Amino acid sequence: MSTLLDLTPDAARAELTGWLARRGDPPYRLSQLLPRLWARPVRRWADASDLPVGLREALEAEWPLPALALETRQVSRDGTEKMLWRLPDGEAIESVLIPEGSRRTLCISSQAGCPLRCTFCATGTLGLKRNLEAWEIAAQVRELLLAPQPAKPTNVVFMGMGEPLLNWPAVSTALTLLNHPEFLGIGARHITVSTVGILPSLAQLAKRPEQFRLAISLHAPTSAARLALMPIEKRYRLPDVLEALGAFRRRVTFEYVLIAGVNDREEDLVELAKIAKAAGAMVNLLPLHPGGAPGLVPAAPRRLGSFAAGLRRRGVEAVARRSRGLDIAAACGQLRAMRGDVGGEVAAETHGDVDQAARVGGLTHGADA
């Protein structure tokens, strides 16, 4: 389906300028139409009351506005919200809104499902259903602006379902939709792309002039250890991923799910500190959440704190994340696009997730991803 929502600002401007000219409408109508796509969105053109009725009807016939259908919304005891969106073809994705003070971080999906099958992640058990279109990615923000109580996120993180850099053309366009001041206008430094390290697309991301943030899903400090957790290591090896980071002008974050007896040993800490220091990266330590392969055991909260402290002693900035949304299966690695009953419970934990900023003893709850 061709839609204006899939177009960058320049492309949408060109398309609408030509369309208005062919209709004989005055050029100033363009300045009324463009904001209705993203900046001040409408669900349907009939809702754009500042436009003549005839123009609204013509727009609806020529350029209907697609939407995500909210099938389920769950709210955690800690205020985290999880939305299950039904796509026009019937596939489903999830996104998670994490409020903390004045910050509202939205964790968005870039694929329906995920093909990577990382052992610690529930999403990978689904396999890949399909890539999302650019508008479907950015519409996870747009729908929040169209909600009965509109709430624009301050931060967006590509840490939902899917591997963003396996869907690079759509993700690249979505980044423009999210960031451009005429559209959603979210600052580039408030947008984080999380990837296992898909090298061709990583190189394309590095070429973009905006200061988007990059997070690498590391989870092991050596290629051999990483292969046991992440099959993608067969194709894109850790040394090559680390070398590719040299093309980025901004600091990179390493994401590291701490698994007892697998990647939380002292030798893992030493090696992780070594590669993080060489890359000038900070480390986000995340707890293992329910939903991945059976037999994996989360490192104890005490170990999460001591592991972070050990990295800091070795000159690496490291934070241990507090879990958010565990009682609604909205924490890192738990998104599966399955309908759930609001209030369904999972045993609560007190450590590790995307966004919450406050230091408590050895644990840091949040910061920017």
Residues known to be catalytic: 94, 332
Q: Strand order of the sheet with strand 191-195?
A: 69-75, 81-86, 92-100, 103-107, 155-158, 191-195, 213-217, 252-258, 282-287, 318-320
CA 113/CA 143 separation, integer angstroms:
20
User: What H or E segment, with its residue span, contains residue 143?
Assistant: helix 134-145
CA 327/CA 341 separation, integer angstroms:
11
**How would you class 186 by CB atoms within 10 Å of its CB: exposed for 0-12, middle for 13-18, buried for 19 or more?**
buried
Pairing label, strands 363-364, 359-360: antiparallel
* Contacts for 3 with CB less than 8 Å, ≥ 6 apart: 63, 64, 65, 66, 135
Q: Are 352 and 285 in contact (CB under 8 A)?
A: yes
Cα 12 versus chain centre, distance: 25
Query: 236: which 2 tokens?
Result: 């894109």
* Contacts for 24 with CB less than 8 Å, ≥ 6 apart: none
5 vs 132, 139, 210, 255, CA distance in Å? 13, 9, 21, 32
Strand partners, 255: 217, 284
